[in-house]
Amino acid sequence: MTVSIQRIENTQELLSAESEWKTFEKLSGSAVLTNCYEWIKTYWICFGNINNEAFGSNKRLFILIIRDNGSITAIAPLVIVDRYRRVLKTRIRIKAVEFLGQQWAGLYSDIVSLKEESCLGCIIDYLMKNERFDIIRLSYIPGFSYNFRNYEGSMRKFSICSEISINKPYPEIVEESYSKNLRKNMKKYFNKLEKSSIRYVIKNGYKEIRAIFDEIKKVSGSKLLSDKHDNYMDDNKNRFFTELVKNMQNPYCIAFYEHDTCIAYNIGFLFNRNVYAVDGSYNRNYSNPMNISFGSLVIDRTISNFAQSFSTLYLGPGTDPYKFHFSRKFQYLSSFIHPGNSCMSAFYNRYFTKKIQKTEEDLENTLKEVL
C-alpha cells in the first residue's frame, strides 16, 4: 500500500480537480450535499475573500486528496483561517483548520471517503508535519459519520439536524411520523384550502426556479419583520444561493400562492436519494385570514411530492420546535477539536473544548424542553 496526499491550495487547482472529484463522489456514495464538489466550489468562489467574524479572515484553501496506489480514497475539504478571540482581556489571533463551508450555512461537513474507511489519522499527521497552526476545529459532523468514530473523546455535540424518513407512501409517513396535533391541523388546513383560491406549485431546475426567484426573495425579505435574517439581502449570500440553484443538478422549489402573491416556499436540492431543504420561509406580510400555517404546509407538500422516491428529507440544523411535529428523528451535529502544533495549541484546545462543552450542555437541556 502506497499512500500519497495531494494538496489543493488555490482556485485554479480546485477547478482542475472537478472531473476526478465528481467521479470519486459517485464511487464513495457520499450523501452529504454540502461536501459535494459544486457546493464546495461555489462556496469558495463566493466567500473565499470575505473577512469578518462569521467567515473568519485570511482564508487559505487546504483541500487534501488522499490516494492509495494512485486511486483516491478520501477528500478532506479543509481551509486554514484566522480566528480572533478575546482571551484574558487580550484580542488574539488563532490559526484554525476548519471544514470549508462550516463558517456559514453549515448543514453537514465530513471527509468524503470510501465507506468504512477513515483517513482522519493520516490527515492529522499530514497537517502536523506540513503546516503550522493552533487548533483543528471541524464542525457540523453528522452522527452517521464513520470518519470520527475512533475520536469520541475529541467530539462535542452542539446542534441537531432534523430528518424525516420518506421512503414509503405519504399516508404512512403522516401516520408514523407526524404528531397528533399536526395530523389534526393538516386536515383542517386542506379543508380550508379546498374552498379558497390558494394553490401550490412545484418547480424543478434552474430555469423554472429562476422564473419565481423575485417572489422567493420578497417572501424571504419579510423575515425582517420577525427580527430574522434574510440571506438574499447580502450580495455574496444572494450570489451563493443563485449559483447553487444554477449549478447543482437537481434543485427544487415548492411554493404556495394566492393569485400572484407568494405565501410560502421551500427550496432545496436532491442529492443521492436524499432531499435537503436548504432555504424556506412564509410571507409575514400576508394577512392569512384562514389562520393556516403555510410554513408547515410547504414542508408537508415537499414530503408528499418526494415520498417513496427518496430516502430522507433533511430539514437543516437547529432545535426549532415545529420540526419535531413532523418527526422526532434527528442527527446530532458535532465538533471535533484537536490541538495543533504551535506553542499555544494546548491552551487553545482547553479553551475551545470548555466552550463547546457548555454548548453541549445547553443543547441537551433544550432537547429536554422541546421533545
**Confidence band for 89, pLDDT divided at 50, 70 and 90:** confident
Asked if residue 106 is part of any domain, the answer here is: yes
Residue 304, SS3? helix
Residues 226 and 123 in one domain: no
| pLDDT tens digit sequence for 231-257 | 899 999 999 999 999 999 899 999 999
Residues 151 and 277 in one domain: no
Residue 228, SS3? coil
- Distance between CA atoms of residues 81 and 108, nearest Å: 19
Asked if residue 17 is part of any domain, the answer here is: yes
pTM of the model: 0.93
| pLDDT tens digit sequence for 259-281 | 999 999 999 999 999 999 999 99
* DSSP codes joined into one string, 248-301: SS-EEEEEEEETTEEEEEEEEEEETTEEEEEEEEE-TT---TT---HHHHHHHH
Q: Which CATH number goes with the domain that contains 109?
A: 3.40.630
* pLDDT for residue 1 is more than 60: no
Residue 233's domain comprises: 167-310
Asked if residue 82 is part of any domain, the answer here is: yes
Sign of the dihedral through C-alpha 272, 178, 294, 226: negative
* DSSP codes joined into one string, 139-151: EEEETT-STTTT-
Residues 154 and 7 in one domain: yes
Question: What letter represents residue 43's amino acid?
Answer: Y
Asked if residue 256 is part of any domain, the answer here is: yes
Q: Which helix (H) or strand (E) holds 157?
A: strand 155-165
Residues 155 and 245 in one domain: no
Residues 78 and 142 in one domain: yes
* pLDDT for residue 287 is more than 80: yes
| pLDDT tens digit sequence for 321-363 | 999 999 999 999 999 999 999 999 999 999 999 999 999 999 9
**Confidence band for 30, pLDDT divided at 50, 70 and 90:** confident
Q: Side-chain half-sphere of 251: how many Cα atoms within 13 Å?
A: 22
Residues 129 and 263 in one domain: no
Asked if residue 49 is part of any domain, the answer here is: yes
Q: Which CATH number goes with the domain that contains 238?
A: 3.40.630.30
Q: State the total domains in the chain.
A: 2
Residues 264 and 354 in one domain: no
Specify the pLDDT at position 2. Answer: 80
Query: How does strand 274-282 pair with strand 312-317?
Result: parallel
